[in-house]
Amino acid sequence: MINKRNFLKTTIAATLLCTASFANAADEIYIPLISKGFQHQFWQAVKLGADQAADEFNVVVTFEGPDTEAQVDKQIDMLAAALAKNPAAIGFAALDSQAAIPLLKQAQKDGVAIIAFDSGVDSDIPTSTATTDNVAAAALAADKMAALIGGAGEVAIVAHDQTSRTGIDRRDGFINQMASQHPDVEIVTVQYGGGDHLQSTEIAKSILTAYPNLKGMFGTNEGSAIGLVNGVQESGAEGLVIIGYDSGKAQKDAIRSGLMTGAITQNPVGIGYETVKAAVAAYKGESVPALIDTGFYYYDKTNIDAPEVAAVLYD
């Protein structure tokens, strides 16, 4: 037989516990980050920075992205699912700078603070964008390439895409710098490997077959760059200047061994940290700069271990 007094006490206690749990949940600042993918170590480093900021600012942060950087539709689904949870703010790295705009417009109307990171959106919807100055970084890569090949000759680009802000800016930053500052360097082809090292490897091999006089190749992200190294190795080509983008163990090993000449490194931990920091500030109604420049370096085997460079490299 049920003891009514004990049953009542238990019910009241359970109700109070549930009420407290809901209150705590309501007090939490929830900030999801939707990245461009998970297949590169770059995104793991961005997540590390986001987690550091979550601990510092006492907020709840989730971090997810599609399996590959070609899955625009899957990323949009992830964005929609995150927004359905009524976040205080959201961080978004767009695979397609246009595709997410309708969802982001609705989120803005609903009062959700939107922070773009790494790859911006072609819109003024985001309160802020935490990113590398990719045009300037790619221009530096072009300057380094031109110097290394003697100021003249044929070079090629393998880019990760032509839809994201990073893909566009890195491609165009390199092309425009060559055209304006190094007119004797000819960019013979620009091809797209989706940021996948296997696809980029096959593209690199086909380029080397089509252009036997090629002097250099530029890969615009981690997967593109590793694809170039693998393609050159598998083709048996020698003497090419390969300049990559980002870091990761494979690129660092390639630079130390001389297979890759150099690369641009971003500050992925800083990107993740600044995204969450800006999201918290925007949610609280504080002033946030429209652009947060997280910096970059060119590195090769002469400076890869320099403290300022080593601090922004990742495995």
> Residue 182: pLDDT above 70?
yes
Identify which has the larger pLDDT, 40 or 285.
285
pLDDT average, residue stretch 18-46: 75
The whole-angstrom separation of Cα 235 and Cα 81 is: 44
pLDDT average, residue stretch 48-60: 97
> Residue 88: pLDDT above 80?
yes
pLDDT recorded at residue 263: 98
pLDDT recorded at residue 38: 82
Please, what is the end-to-end C-alpha distance for the chain in angstroms? Answer: 63
pTM of the predicted protein model: 0.84
Domains identified in the chain and CATH numbers: 30-132+268-295 (3.40.50.2300), 134-265 (3.40.50.2300)
Given pLDDT bands bounded at 50, 70 and 90, which one contains residue 25? very low
pLDDT recorded at residue 126: 96
Q: What is the pLDDT of the chain when averaged over all its residues?
A: 91
Question: Which CA distances in Å does 74 have to 78, 96, 160?
Answer: 6, 12, 18
Please give the structure tokens belonging to residue 188. 């013979």
pLDDT recorded at residue 281: 98
| Tens digits of residue pLDDT in 142-165 | 999 999 999 999 999 999 999 999
> Residue 6: pLDDT above 70?
no
pLDDT average, residue stretch 193-197: 95
- Alpha helix positions (H), 84-158: 101-109, 134-148
Given pLDDT bands bounded at 50, 70 and 90, which one contains residue 61? very high
**Which three-class secondary structure state does DSSP give residue 128?**
strand
Question: Which CA distances in Å does 146 have to 65, 81, 131, 150, 243?
Answer: 36, 46, 26, 6, 11
Given pLDDT bands bounded at 50, 70 and 90, which one contains residue 121? confident
